[in-house]
Chains A and B, each alone.
Chain A
């Protein structure tokens, strides 16, 4: 869907159809394919810079993000404070840098939870079939019956605001999509000849799933993970914005926005910069996800879309 990355590289067209080139082999050549998509490269660059900033943030941040300084309140951007200062004299740039760490941490762990749970449920569901499948799929139906953000809000509302709870809430909300995708792929792979061969040679079900089925399901899951990270960043920001996510004084982008909202007229930089950080991060993950999708499996185009497509 992203211009420039829509045309598979010439060499890939041949391979895409044949079983001879499994997605795993394509994974090995990932860089070769990603390299051809400008958008994916931009995404990779944004995400890379972000991860580095999240790790080294504390050392490069010019100030302590929680350092109050009454004499430097609400200063507009300047050389000393490139993003200005907030209503309590804290350096906005430093807070945005620390916020990257918080946002990424919540997003990565939340998506980690949903990917682990979802893949497990989906694999069991797809491989075993029958009533187990029916049960798990009805469970995903129920979770799908809520707009994702509303479910997260409701769960956070009763659990209370904390970073851990945000990870749990978002982890729950995003589990069904991983379960569905895994199940779908497992269903296709399960009937392949090589799986049948493994089964007839007496391999046990868990072994077949782990050794033969899962490697072939990896591609769509990697794509989904990347796009889910974009969703999780947005959702964490929304929760924190509503006062349900990361509690103060931890600098999270969503909370900075909600604090900046009250001063939007006098100190708009308080709201502008954390917002830009969110937009950039989400775009980075979306670009990378779209690029990965085109690279790993051209047939998946249109099956997935960036985070917001699913709300």
Chain B
């Protein structure tokens, strides 16, 4: 197991290298002169030249890259052009909000997918199952940002149960924190819950036809026990991988939903930075989300190996 974890860790290195290259190259995708685009047409040539110098845009690409990476490894991702804030600190400051939202949304999606998936997987082609599948099909087709707006419309503007947007720190006021968290978490959670429901259903369906389930039933094990102890446990193994991948992909949804709910996470940071052409900040935010994504995938792979002893590495 240890050697598997070590080998899996080693595999992360080339991926991180690739990510760093893509993120580094982002600024070179800017049409024309990045320094000029950032500062606008009014800026005088001297300021533009200074920025170009600071970004190292005059030097050959490979040297720029090595320079950028060595700085990045030391936690130096440059400075924002507007606030002069160090990018690394800004991104790190926003990451907890993004992760909180992702975790909350993840919890919501499990709360939705586990009961519905098990129910429809054990009672296929019944009315309840069709209902669940209609939900799942709708869920995968609804854009998160639209669902978010609709939830705001119903729960904030008409019913006035929760605030439409904003963020309150947990330490300041836990109740207000939860009130602000609930709508964005449900928005992302419902969509991802739909994906998980579909997967868990088919996984359960498959497991329910296995010999060991038949054996358990033949032995006279109560159906409830058969489902929870024999079927669910096995159905969950492939689901863990999907859950993990889904969690990682949820980061994409979170990025978009943050904008609607004025949630101060990395996604909003990135989009604000894009609007202000603050490219170093864009790079930092994209790097942070991509690295989180890789970290989650790594954890999922390890969890999978721990959960399923049949898999030899």
A153, B255: Cβ atoms under 8 Å? yes
A237/B143 in contact, CB under 8 A: yes
Which residues of chain A from 230 to 283 have any CB-CB distance to chain B below 8 Å in the complex?
Answer: 230, 234, 237-238, 241-244, 254, 257, 260-261, 264-265, 268, 271-272, 275, 278-280, 282-283
Rounded to whole angstroms, the CA-CA distance of A271 and B140 in the bound complex is: 19
Are B141 and A1 in contact (CB-based, < 8 A)? no
Query: In the assembly, what is the distance between CA of A154 and CA of B284, in Å?
Result: 11
In the complex, the answer to whether B125 meets A158 with C-beta atoms within 8 Å is no
Q: Hey, which chain B residues are within 8 Å of A2, CB to CB?
A: 133, 137
Contact at B19–A142, with CB atoms within 8 Å? yes
Give the A-B pair count, Cβ closer than 8 A. 174
Instruction: List which B241-256 residues lie within 8 A (CB) of chain A.
Output: 242, 245-246, 248-253, 255-256
Q: Does A286 make an interface contact (CB < 8 A)? A: yes
A202 at the interface (CB under 8 A from B): no
Q: Which residue of B lies closest to A3 (CB)?
A: B133
**Bound complex: CA A138 to CA B19 (Å):** 11
Task: Assess whether B26 is interfacial by the CB under 8 Å rule.
Answer: yes
B29 touches A158 (CB 8 A): yes
Would you call B198 and A305 a contact (CB within 8 A)? yes
Given contacts A153-B271, A242-B271, A261-B260, contact A271 B143 (CB under 8 A): no
* CB contact under 8 A between A149 and B146, given known A3-B130, A158-B27, A282-B141: no
State which size class the interface on A falls in: 35 or more
Taken together as a complex, chains A and B put the C-alpha atoms of A153 and B252 apart, in Å, by 10
Q: Which of A157, A237, A280 contacts B274 (CB 8 A)?
A: A157
Contact B157 A265 (CB under 8 A): yes
Q: For residue B152, give the distance in angstroms from its CB to the closest CB of chain A.
A: 7
CB distance from A156 to the nearest CB of B (A): 8
In the bound assembly, the distance between CA atoms of A158 and B133 in angstroms comes to: 39
Task: Please determine whether B282 and A154 come into contact, CB atoms closer than 8 angstroms.
Answer: yes
Count residues on chain B whose CB falls below 8 Å from chain A CBs.
65
Task: Please determine whether A243 and B19 come into contact, CB atoms closer than 8 angstroms.
Answer: no
Q: Mark B216-257, 1 if CB is under 8 A from A, else 0.
A: 000000000000000000000000001001101111110110
Cβ of B274 and Cβ of A147 under 8 Å apart? no
Q: Is the interface of A mostly helix, strand, loop or mixed?
A: helix
CB-CB under 8 A from A261, the residues of chain B are 149, 260
Choose among A155, A278, A308 the residue that contacts B140 (Cβ–Cβ < 8 A): A308
Minimum distance in angstroms from A299 CB to a CB of chain B? 14
Bound complex: CA A254 to CA B149 (Å): 12
Do A150 and B274 have beta carbons less than 8 Å apart? no
Q: Which of A139, A147, A157, A243 contacts B252 (CB 8 A)?
A: A147
Which of B129, B246, B271 contacts A3, CB < 8 Å?
A: B129
User: Smallest CB–CB gap between B173 and chain A, Å?
Assistant: 26
Least distance between A101 CB and chain B CB atoms (Å) = 19
CA distance A230 to B242 in the complex (A): 20
Q: Which of B26, B133, B140, B150 contacts A309 (CB 8 A)?
A: B140
Name the residue of chain B whose CB is nearest to the CB of A308: B140
Alpha-carbon separation in the docked complex, A302 to B203 (Å): 9
Q: B26 touching A154 by the CB < 8 A rule?
A: yes
Interface string of B111-147 (1 = CB under 8 A from A): 0000000000000110001100100011111111110
- Residue B199 is within 8 A (CB to CB) of chain A in the complex: yes
Tell me which of A142, A147, A159, A244 contacts B289 (CB under 8 A): A147
Contacts of A243 in B (CB 8 A): 275
Which residues from chain B sit less than 8 Å from chain A, CB to CB? 14-15, 18-19, 21-22, 26-27, 29-31, 124-125, 129-130, 133, 137-146, 149-150, 152-153, 157, 191-192, 194-195, 198-199, 201-202, 242, 245-246, 248-253, 255-256, 259-260, 267, 270-271, 273-275, 279, 282, 286, 289-290, 293-294
Q: Chain A interface (Cβ within 8 Å of chain B)? A: 1-3, 138-139, 141-143, 145-151, 153-160, 230, 234, 237-238, 241-244, 254, 257, 260-261, 264-265, 268, 271-272, 275, 278-280, 282-283, 286-287, 302, 305-311
6 closest A-B pairs (Cβ-Cβ)?
Answer: A311-B249, A142-B18, A147-B252, A157-B274, A275-B146, A282-B141
The contact sample of 7 A-B pairs, CB cut-off 8 A, is A141-B14, A147-B252, A147-B255, A150-B270, A150-B286, A158-B26, A242-B271
